Amino acid sequence: MDLATSSLPSPPITRNFTPARDGRRRSWQARYARRLAVLDTVVVITAVFGTQLLWLGPEPAGVSAAPIDYTTVSVLLSAAWLAALALWGTRLPRVVGHGVAEHRLVIAASFQLFGLVAMAAYLTGIDLSRGYFLLSLPVGTLTLLVARTAARSWLVSRRRKGDMSARVVLVGSAEENARVAGEIMRQPGVGLTVVGLHPIAVDEESWTEAQARRLRRRLDQLDADSVLVTGGGHLDAHDIRRIGWSLEPGRQHLIVAVNLTDVAGPRIHTRPVAGLPLVHVETPQYSTRQRVLKRAFDVVGALLLLAATSPLLLVLAGLVRLSGPGPILYRQERVGQGGVRFGMLKFRSMVDGADARLSELLATQGRDGAPLFKIENDPRVTPIGRVLRKYSLDEIPQLFNVLIGQMSLVGPRPQRDAEVAFYDDDARRRLIVRPGMSGLWQVSGRSTLSWEDAIRLDLFYVENWSLVGDIVILFRTIKAVVAPGATAH
């Protein structure tokens, strides 16, 4: 088997990448972990001592039934908190920059530490101030999460420039390499930079030591630190194991892509059985607890948003009235959960009778056979309507649809009958859940996405729903509304 090797000729994969030789590149993870440690130290000390100052005053107070004061307790608690963050692995390379996993470990370390402290105080009879104890935990944990989010945003911005990322060489068939490279390029902030391809032909023989040496030389030439096996179709388990043996321990890493697309981490569990690294994939399901939790989140969120935006609703209603003849609210029939039709509410952003012209405009622009009924430079939109649409203000009345139970705050966007007619069996899985005011594809590109990409993102949401995911999408929605960019129409 002769391994064909090649560098990637496409500039987008390596654009804006500043070469970093071995020592500097290998140490970025350690430098970033040290920065997180400093950040954690500042947050924890500020939270603990700030709570002591706020709750107990500037004078050090003694602890009941213990020969120490609260300043000593604060020092010990801060040190234990920082140690817990380290012991729980919140700064390990496999965790930092990976969103929810990092936050979960921070929360687990914080709450379990405080649980141990509470148990120790109870068993020893030490009477700690409940206000001091109960205030420092939520304040410190919340501030840690905010600080880690800010740090991750900075890390992602650096990774988009090609810095602070693993330099990987893809090993597999040409098709598998192209598929994985495309997914990595789609998300430049994930921390992987593809610097080379090693395509393997179907008729090639088993991996040999000579080919391993050529791969090692290629890794050195490309200054790569990781090999990503893009699929097992042309390499068996023995071949993959020998590739791993040929890498330099501690400096070069082996990554194997499992051929499972659009499956989120919480549904995937690895379990070694009889020496086999088995991957367990949970079947998507919505338990009663999940349904009740999501509905409660929708109702509470919609009520809070209506209370907060009620003055804005009155102003927008007046502007729509001044924009021309026609109703203030526009009711459009959409297809909801289970294929049930309902009237979706929006502030009117078009001239009265705009629906009658849709077919004509679609035919004029050659889009009458396309599944997404979008008109470029739509002449039916009023000047005020353009502003409403750009900032998604016309969508606010859908909060009433959420309260009624026809929609959710987050979910696949409801579509018209004519668009649903384009659904295949896979796309119809969008109808399993309530449609949403905002969704994953709305915060991932809005009108610039193709029909296939929009469906793929919606199906990913349906298959991998979580409350934390809904909260993240809502925050991204707020960001997209405040700064809509060029993709908003």
CB 40 within 8 A of CB 80: no
d(CA 400, CA 395): 10
pLDDT tens-digit profile of 105-136? 999 999 998 888 888 877 777 777 778 778 88
CB 41 within 8 A of CB 91: no
Q: What integer pLDDT is reported at residue 42 of this predicted model?
A: 95
d(CA 49, CA 99): 28
Instruction: Output 438-444 pairs: Cβ under 8 A, ≥24 positions apart.
Output: 438/409, 438/410, 438/473, 438/474, 438/477, 439/410, 439/411, 439/412, 439/413, 439/473, 440/473, 441/413, 442/413, 442/477, 442/480, 443/473, 443/476, 443/477, 443/479, 443/480
Pairing verdict, β 276-281 and 268-273? antiparallel
Joined together, the tokens standing for residue 180 give 């994985």
DSSP 171-202: EE-HHHHHHHHHHHHH-GGGSEEEEEEEE--T
d(CA 223, CA 167): 7
Pairing verdict, β 166-172 and 6-7? unpaired
Of the candidates 352, 362, 355, which has an alpha carbon nearest to the alpha carbon of residue 382? 352
Q: Rounded mean pLDDT of the chain?
A: 79
Within 10 angstroms of residue 71's Cβ, the number of other Cβ atoms is 14
d(CA 336, CA 346): 16
Q: What integer pLDDT is reported at residue 265 of this predicted model?
A: 56
Give the gyration radius of the chain's Cα atoms. 27
Q: Where are the domains of the chain?
A: 6-10+164-259, 26-159, 288-487
CB 225 within 8 A of CB 166: yes
218-235 per-residue burial string, b: 16 or more CB within 10 A, e: under 16: bbeebebbbbbbbbbebb
Q: Which CATH class is domain 6-10+164-259?
A: alpha beta
- Along the 489 residues of the chain, how does pLDDT read in single tens digits? 333 444 443 433 333 333 444 444 557 888 888 999 999 999 999 999 998 888 777 776 666 655 677 788 889 899 999 999 999 988 888 787 777 788 889 999 999 988 888 888 777 777 777 787 788 888 999 999 999 989 988 988 888 887 888 888 888 877 888 888 887 887 777 888 888 887 776 666 666 677 777 778 888 888 888 888 886 556 777 777 778 877 877 677 888 877 655 565 556 666 666 556 666 666 666 778 888 999 999 999 999 999 999 999 999 999 999 888 889 998 989 999 989 999 999 999 888 776 666 666 666 665 555 555 566 667 788 889 888 888 889 999 999 999 999 999 999 989 888 888 888 887 888 888 899 999 888 787 655 667 777 888 888 888 878 888 888 888 888 877 776 655 555
Q: What integer pLDDT is reported at residue 86 of this predicted model?
A: 92
Rounded to two decimals, what is the model's pTM? Answer: 0.63
- Segment holding 166, helix H or strand E: strand 166-172
